[in-house]
Amino acid sequence: MRRIAVYLCRCFGEIDQIIDLNDIRVRLAGNSRVRSSAVVDSLCCADTIKQTALQIGKTDADQVLIAACSLISRGNRVIRTLEEEGIRSSSIHLVDIREGCAWIHGDDAAGATEKAYRLVDMGLALLEHKRPSDNVVVTVRREALIIGAGPAGMAAAVSLAERDIHVHLIERGSEPGGMPMLFSRVYPGNEDPSIKLKPYREAIETNRNIAFYPRSKLVSVVGYVGDFKVCFVSNKNEYHIRPGVIIAATGARVFLPDGLYRYGELKNVITQMELETRFKKGTAETDNTVFIQCVGARCAERPYCSTICCPSAIKNALRISERNEDAHVVVLHRDVMTPGSTLENYYRTAMERGIRFIRFTEDTPPVIIGEDRVEAVDVYDVVTGLTRRINADLAVLSTPLIPGMDSHHLADMLGIQVDRYGFFREMYPMHPVETRMDGVFICGSARWPVSSDQAVMQGEAAAIKALAVLRSGKISASSFSPVPGGKFGHPNVNADSCTGCGNCMAVCPFDAIRLQRIDGKYFCISRVNKMRCKACGNCVSVCPNGTMQMPEHNYLSVCGMIERAFGQ
Which residues contribute to the site for another protein (CB under 8 A)?
1, 70-73, 96, 98-100, 103-108, 111-112, 114-115, 118-119, 122, 125, 128-129, 417, 436, 486-488, 507, 509-510, 534-538, 540-542, 550, 553, 555-556, 558-563, 565-566
Cα(502)–Cα(514) distance, rounded to whole angstroms?
Answer: 8
CB of 486 to another protein, least distance (A): 6
* Of 106 and 340, CB closest to another protein: 106
Cα 449 to chain center, whole Å?
A: 16
Instruction: Tell me how far CA of residue 89 lies from CA of 69, 486, 550, 553, in angstroms.
Output: 17, 9, 16, 14
CB of 506 to another protein, least distance (A): 9
CB of 534 to another protein, least distance (A): 6
What one-character DSSP code corresponds to residue 27? H
CB of 203 to another protein, least distance (A): 36
Please state whether the peptide bond connecting residue 449 to the residue before it is cis, i.e. omega within 30 degrees of 0: no
β-pair type (440-442, 356-359): unpaired
* Of 222 and 369, CB closest to another protein: 222
* Of 128 and 453, CB closest to another protein: 128
* Of 74 and 333, CB closest to another protein: 74
Cα(197)–Cα(294) distance, rounded to whole angstroms?
Answer: 28
Secondary structure of 315-371 in HEC code, one letter for each residue: HHHHHHHHHCCCCCEEEEECCCCCCCHHHHHHHHHHHHCCCEEEECCCCCCCEEECC
CB of 285 to another protein, least distance (A): 47
Nearest to 176 by CA among 193, 189, 163: 193
For residue 336, the number of C-alpha atoms closer than 13 Å in the C-beta half-sphere is: 23
Cα(154)–Cα(453) distance, rounded to whole angstroms?
Answer: 12
Secondary structure of 186-233 in HEC code, one letter for each residue: ECCCCECHHHHCHHHHHHHHHCCCEEEECCEEEEEEEEECCEEEEEEE
CB of 114 to another protein, least distance (A): 7
What one-letter code names the amino acid at 46? Answer: A
Cα(393)–Cα(401) distance, rounded to whole angstroms?
Answer: 26
CB of 539 to another protein, least distance (A): 9
* Of 9 and 314, CB closest to another protein: 9
Q: Which is it for the CA torsion 431, 427, 227, 204, positive or negative? A: negative
What one-letter code names the amino acid at 28? Answer: L
CB of 568 to another protein, least distance (A): 8
Instruction: Tell me how far CA of residue 141 lies from CA of 202, 224, 242, 465, 466, in angstroms.
Output: 26, 11, 7, 15, 12
What one-letter code names the amino acid at 492? Answer: N
What one-character DSSP code corresponds to residue 74? I
Element (DSSP H or E) covering residue 460: helix 452-471
* Of 115 and 530, CB closest to another protein: 115
CB of 133 to another protein, least distance (A): 13
CB of 525 to another protein, least distance (A): 20
CB of 2 to another protein, least distance (A): 9
* Of 54 and 72, CB closest to another protein: 72
* Of 373 and 425, CB closest to another protein: 425
CB of 238 to another protein, least distance (A): 30
Cα(21)–Cα(12) distance, rounded to whole angstroms?
Answer: 12
* Of 340 and 544, CB closest to another protein: 544
* Of 10 and 118, CB closest to another protein: 118
